[in-house]
Chain A
């Protein structure tokens, strides 16, 4: 899959017309014909333009008498300063106040801890009280007539993270679009939306278990997509990437460690309804992917996974607005379903020397077993804007830990069988399209035996020239 994907991308990249020497004579003839046609057209256009100009002159006289022409200044010349070439810059400010239980190590029961080994992730969604999320700094501009670029930085205390850094084609044509660099993958619906464009203060549980705290799969690689020349919107995308982020791991290797493919369909039903539906596939591989586990006696243990992860996502969005005019009232229904299988090996160890079930003698021994899981989950949400400023929304999340075959390590590690769920309600107020304040309540039962009632008050403010948001 991986190599064929790379090959397909390479093939398309290298796709250029190659003229055969034997055809040179024929080509020259065609060129001469084209030149002749062009010249004759140019003459005709020139003739027509002079006719047009003549007609205007006479018309202008008539207009001058019949119509009182408003005397307005001529269009202002574009700013000549070098700054006119500066990229569009925007800054997103996002922060919140959160009330929730004090749980030292949060996780989602029955699923691989996507945030790996790092304790105390300071992502604000997991902080209690007041906090600011990372501020987002976005630069976008056309590079030349053929390319456009984007750089999105996430800025936090002592940390600048390159969230996206990509270039995009403008001039390939034929419905083809090529993107390269670091970009949010086109899989699923929510994956390529930044947090400020989300309808709730946090991501659906399914995105948290699939891709970790960023709740989005980011590729360092290339994406090729194609829009079909049909009235029904059909888009097909292929991606190949480094695959260094969860569920994959960074591998010092040639080729691509992650491959993705998706197809999206969309259209309108009458003037009031629009929809988009998609099916996506992501395949990644991991080596020594580490996470914290609990052994059968409640002691800390570590697990290393080697193997392949296959993720399928089905998504749909339905939007309604009276007369197709969303500024007053509108409704958005959105849902996604995923299925993930992981196959490989699990190595159980005792890094902290606590004498857990995998290494009771504290001799540095490890236990290697099969690892085979098949898990699923979904969310469904609806957001209703009932006045130009106010919106309210409901969301329900549900996951199924599914089949978890740990082989012989099932005797050593706690293998939870659980169905995490969460119900969320939110209301938000927007002063303008650039400023929004949101109050959210969630009853979170994503950890077995814990019911966490979470209240979040969040603000999202955007400054500068911020581009349009996707559907």
Chain B
């Protein structure tokens, strides 16, 4: 038996590198972005889908197996994946994708972070030291992240550099056109007061000028309590919000409870690709987000 094991180990040491450029994306938005930049030169595996809570993923064996053969991990960073990604990366035995290596890419490093907490204390809930990690809700961040990602892919896979640069430029062009359209469409949303279930949308609010008047979670990541929700309802008279926003992966009860007692609509936003049936790519994600917000006005 030991001879068998030794043989396997020696076999592993002498295995050749894989031909395809494998990318392991933690969440659907980075999977889609990597696909836009990589085109047919890359094989993208996305670890989660739009109906999963990105804070609460487990370090599943299937993820370790996929990380094992990846040349590049594309993560959000800012501690979003802290509950599972460090373990997956370490357990994979893949030296190229360890933290600090070029094969480990964190999107949050390339955008301006919002809600950086002045004090770090768990009594304030599930706060992220680097700021709010839900950066993908502002499509302008895709330009910055996409550019950095293209650079990283060129560095790691120079043979396909031309394709990566060209793909990124084409994508950025389409995105800029779409941005003009989206901002025109979303103009009526500017200044609209909203409640949010989880602090999932500060970048979206910042982009479209929505005004957050309260959160249903008493502290980030903590389940709403009935007394806290009653306070939110009471606050409606002084500071009336027009709608309550919830990310598709979150459970419905708290926002429905508020909607029932205040009469304002619940808007379920896709949050990422796959969150709603309409949000199928990086463009329809924001089309659908804006449409859903406008319908609630």
Residues in B neighbouring A227, C-beta threshold 8 A: 64-65, 68, 91-93
Interface residues contributed by chain B, number (CB under 8 Å) = 80
Find A67's partner among B12, B82, B90, B179 (CB 8 Å cutoff): B179
Residues in A neighbouring B206, C-beta threshold 8 A: 70, 72
Nearest A residue to B86 via CB reads: A468
**Bound Cα distance from A70 to B52, whole angstroms:** 29
B154 and A49 contact, CB distance less than 8 A: yes
Query: SS class of chain A's interface: helix, strand, loop or mixed?
Result: mixed
Which of A20-28, A58-66, A93-101, A394-402 faces chain B? Answer: A58-66
B8 and A236 contact, CB distance less than 8 A: yes
Q: Is A5 an interface residue (CB 8 A)?
A: yes
Residues in B neighbouring A174, C-beta threshold 8 A: 12-13, 15, 93, 95
A175 and B94 contact, CB distance less than 8 A: yes
Find A431's partner among B15, B168, B172, B222 (CB 8 Å cutoff): B222
B122 and A463 contact, CB distance less than 8 A: yes
A168 and B65 contact, CB distance less than 8 A: no
B176 and A44 contact, CB distance less than 8 A: no
Which of B107-115, B228-236, B263-271 faces chain A? Answer: B107-115
Residues in B neighbouring A8, C-beta threshold 8 A: 2, 5-6, 9
B8 and A226 contact, CB distance less than 8 A: yes
Which of B55-63, B237-245, B284-292 faces chain A? Answer: B55-63
Which of A196-204, A322-330, A358-366 faces chain B? Answer: A322-330
Which of A128-136, A207-215, A261-269, A376-384 faces chain B? Answer: A261-269
Nearest B residue to A5 via CB reads: B2
Nearest A residue to B172 via CB reads: A59
Contact with A along B132-150 (1 / 0, CB 8 A): 0000001010010001001
Q: Is A232 an interface residue (CB 8 A)?
A: yes
B90 and A323 contact, CB distance less than 8 A: no
Residues in A neighbouring B223, C-beta threshold 8 A: 388-389
Q: Is B251 an interface residue (CB 8 A)?
A: yes
Query: SS class of chain B's interface: helix, strand, loop or mixed?
Result: helix
B62 and A51 contact, CB distance less than 8 A: no
Known contacts A172-B95, A224-B9, A238-B5; is-contact A145 B59 (Cβ 8 Å):
no
Among B91, B96, B101, find the residue whose CB has the most chain A CB atoms closer than 10 A: B91
Known contacts A175-B92, A229-B68; is-contact A274 B147 (Cβ 8 Å):
no
Q: Is B188 an interface residue (CB 8 A)?
A: no
Find A175's partner among B68, B143, B154 (CB 8 Å cutoff): B68
Nearest B residue to A435 via CB reads: B122
B9 and A230 contact, CB distance less than 8 A: no
B112 and A268 contact, CB distance less than 8 A: no
**Shortest distance from the beta carbon of B35 to any chain A beta carbon, whole Å:** 19
Contact with B along A327-369 (1 / 0, CB 8 A): 1100000000000000000000000000000000000000000
**Shortest distance from the beta carbon of B82 to any chain A beta carbon, whole Å:** 7
B59 and A177 contact, CB distance less than 8 A: no
**Shortest distance from the beta carbon of A88 to any chain B beta carbon, whole Å:** 10
**Shortest distance from the beta carbon of A105 to any chain B beta carbon, whole Å:** 40
Q: Is B169 an interface residue (CB 8 A)?
A: yes
Which of A73-81, A298-306, A413-421 faces chain B? Answer: A73-81
**Shortest distance from the beta carbon of B113 to any chain A beta carbon, whole Å:** 6
Nearest B residue to A434 via CB reads: B122
Q: Is B126 an interface residue (CB 8 A)?
A: yes
Q: Which residues of A does B touch, CB under 8 Å?
A: 1, 4-5, 8, 11-12, 15, 41, 44-45, 48-49, 51-52, 55-56, 59, 62-63, 66-70, 72-76, 142, 145, 148, 168, 170-177, 224-236, 238, 261, 264-268, 271, 274-276, 319, 323-328, 388-389, 431-434, 463, 467-471
* 9 A-B pairs closest in CB distance: A266-B61, A173-B95, A72-B112, A233-B61, A175-B93, A233-B65, A327-B56, A327-B53, A468-B87
Show 29 residue pairs from A and B whose CB-CB distance is below 8 angstroms, ordered by the A residue: A8-B5, A45-B154, A45-B161, A52-B151, A59-B143, A59-B172, A69-B140, A70-B112, A145-B100, A170-B95, A172-B95, A176-B93, A227-B93, A230-B65, A238-B5, A261-B2, A261-B5, A266-B60, A274-B58, A324-B51, A327-B53, A328-B251, A389-B223, A431-B222, A432-B221, A467-B86, A469-B59, A470-B59, A470-B91
